Amino acid sequence: MRRQVQFRKPYNKVMHQTEVKRLKDQLEDTKSALRENVAIIKQDEYGPNHDGLLMIDQTLKYTNEIQMERRRLQEEKEAL
């Protein structure tokens, strides 16, 4: 009996070890959730529609530039 009491871990040490284990598990869960969120955000940014939207945006910008250039040339022509 005396030997069991001597070799038993102190209560505070056991509680601290339990708390550390719980916090490590919580940290691991939080890291995995963060990885999932980052993956979802990246997927949203570079999703399947991203390339199509970029192409449409560039096409509209180019069309707008051409229309503005055409108007400018038309105004110059009318001025002459």
Q: What is the pLDDT of residues 40-79, one digit of tens each?
A: 777 766 666 667 777 888 899 999 999 999 999 999 888 8
pLDDT at residue 21, rounded to an integer: 94
33 pLDDT above the threshold of 80: yes
Write a three-state SS string for 33-60.
Answer: HHHHHHHHHHHHHCCCCHHHHHHHHHHH
The pLDDT, as a whole number, for residue 47 is: 65
In angstroms, rounded to a whole number, what is the distance separating the alpha carbons of residues 25 and 18?
11
CA 23 to CA 57: how far, in whole Å?
Answer: 48
Query: Domain limits of the chain?
Result: 1-47, 48-80
Rounded to a whole number of angstroms, the CA Rg of the chain reads: 33
Overall pTM > 0.75:
no
